[in-house]
Amino acid sequence: MTHDQTFGSDDPELPMLDAEQAALLRRLAAPHMREGHRYSLRDLGHLCRQAPVERWPEVVAGHFARLREAGRGGEGREELLRGTHARLLPEDAITPDLAGSMRYVRKAADGLVLAYALDQPTSVRILTDTDVERAGAKELAEAARANLMRVEVRHEEIPVEGGAVLHSLYGDSPFVASQALYLAQAAHRATGESLPAEGALVVVPTRHNLVYHPIADGSVVAAVNSLAGYAMRAHGDGPGALSPRLYWWHRGQLTSLTVIDDVERSFSVQPPPELLSRMKSLIRLAPAGRIRTRASGAAPDTGEAARRLGESLTRLAGDPSGLAGVFADAVTLAHARCADDPRAAHVDTWDAWALALQLGTLLFTGGQPQKCVLGDAVEVEVSGEGVTPPADVRAWLDAVYVAVVCRDWERVERLCSVPLELLRQDDAVDAYVVHWADTLRAYFTRQPMDAIVPKLLAAMETSVPQTLTHGPEAFVNHIDYQPVAMFHRIVAGDHEAFGKALSEALDGHRAYWGDAPAPRARVALGPLAMASLARGYGFPVPDELPYLPKYLLDGQRIEDVPRP
């Protein structure tokens, strides 16, 4: 993914001024520079741009007077600990003549350094090595972080095109943007919500604001484009310009996604492979309703969903190429029906599950036309002939889960004959998902247990958080992995451990979805399939459990499903 744009003027330090204005400012600043005050002119350029040219000498003199006042130093240890803040600065702010007395300054990210700044009544002074030594390096680091995170900020949510919501933290303090160093704490303080394990996209165009987007759903692509463009524009507006780059905050580290070509005077956004993988996975998961997003906060209209599905189903009779999408919609409707019918007692609910069973099997295994029914109004023949099965492991798992819930073992076996090579082509999932699919394929095609167990262990070993590079950690832990843990207890024949695994799966489902009315929140599909399987082996599974519709779990709602 790239996002290219040219930038700049002839003077890279003063892009906000034209060539004539930049030359004038440098002439006015030269006498002060000769006095040894060699600071970046970027902030001064923004100040001058906002003032009439005839006032520039006064603005320049006042600026350097404040710098001289701030540079006197000599504060006591307690004053330093009380007033020092961690602060992000542009990398070029630490000029060669300053670097020798500020060896403690470290790089925070491309284009940014972390320094300590003493907040004084009329100015802000960047500390020197002598100051750090006087205060104590460890004590100063702790105080600087604590003082920074006490800085008051205002919070605003900004919806942008593409469904993304940006969070803007802003204020009068020159330390606001520096809170990006500790973004998880800053975000929680401002919103009351934690950042996802995948982190956030963040920009710090000026010292007075930072804007971030949690990497939580498929809107991340829209956020990349919006944030990258905003950072470039706002950085040029100043004052207090900090960085025009887009960063990925992840596990306490800032990684630049912006690549700047100084020769071509252009920039592009180039996420690293790990982030690209996560983004691709989120793009697949979010529209399919598999993960909790802002969009999942609205209850679906099942009547309207059924009407649209009926129309799509009718079109399939003449053109089966849209089978993948219609199957996904059928699975969604099957879940949604259980909102009003949590026990799956009604025929409309069963019809939706039966339809999902038929379409999922046709999608992945093909087959002759068969009668598909939805309500009283739709009855069509749908064929799987000529349909290319998608390289979509989670869709395949949905089809298998639905077939297990419906106790259609012939269709389960057909689904498990799908070549593993096809499922391996899915590049939007972590390795454990493919290993899990391979485990089910081996199990339902009656391979020996010596062949099944290594596949199951591979699924378990590759699902730990430190190995994940695609799926959101919370989704994997609470939702996606739970059927694996339950199946492990089934093949071990451990009734007590299975009961605990089932309880943990339902607790995880509740913890992840909360009170969201999204269709996937209504039924824990994977655990329902594993609980249905376990009941067939005599495992004690209670009839009344949340997220497991009673008459699907005990099989009493199961009816014959048409075949070719």
Question: According to the model, what pLDDT value does residue 542 have?
Answer: 94
**Residue 170: other Cβ atoms inside 10 A:** 16
Question: According to the model, what pLDDT value does residue 334 have?
Answer: 97
SS3 191: helix
What span, in angstroms and rounded, lies between the C-alpha atoms of 434 and 4? Answer: 36
What span, in angstroms and rounded, lies between the C-alpha atoms of 346 and 349? Answer: 5
- pLDDT 10s digits, 539-555: 999 999 999 999 999 99
Nearest 5°: the CA angle 227, 229, 233 is 115
* Residue appearing with tokens 């005599």: 538
CA proximity to 243, closest of 223, 260, 226, 225: 260
Helices assigned H by DSSP within 367-430: 393-405, 409-415, 420-424
What span, in angstroms and rounded, lies between the C-alpha atoms of 20 and 380? Answer: 75
- pLDDT 10s digits, 69-107: 655 567 889 999 999 999 999 998 888 878 889 999 999
370-376 CB contacts, 8 Å cutoff, 24+ apart: 370/562, 370/563, 370/564, 371/562, 372/313, 372/316, 372/562, 373/562, 374/306, 374/309, 374/310, 374/313, 375/306, 375/310, 375/348, 375/351
Do residues 172 and 119 touch, judged by C-beta distance below 8 A?
A: no
What is the total residue count of the chain? 564
CA proximity to 279, closest of 287, 271, 289: 271
Do residues 486 and 530 touch, judged by C-beta distance below 8 A?
A: yes
What span, in angstroms and rounded, lies between the C-alpha atoms of 533 and 527? Answer: 10
What letter represents residue 20's amino acid? E
What span, in angstroms and rounded, lies between the C-alpha atoms of 373 and 559? Answer: 13
pTM of the entire structure? 0.83
SS3 561: coil
CA proximity to 105, closest of 83, 78, 81, 137: 137
What letter represents residue 121's amino acid? P
Sign of the Cα torsion 363, 365, 366, 372 reads negative
**Residue 263: other Cβ atoms inside 10 A:** 5
Stretches in the chain below the pLDDT threshold 50 = 1-9, 35-37
Do residues 309 and 329 touch, judged by C-beta distance below 8 A?
A: yes
Q: Is 469 exposed, middle or buried (0-12, 13-18, 19+ CB in 10 A)?
A: middle
Letter string b/e over residues 69-79, b meaning 16 or more CB atoms within 10 A of that residue's CB: ebeeeebeeee
Do residues 40 and 12 touch, judged by C-beta distance below 8 A?
A: no
Radius of gyration of the chain (CA): 30
In this structure, what token pair is assigned to residue 147?
Answer: 């003082």
What span, in angstroms and rounded, lies between the C-alpha atoms of 439 and 444? Answer: 9
What span, in angstroms and rounded, lies between the C-alpha atoms of 542 and 324? Answer: 34
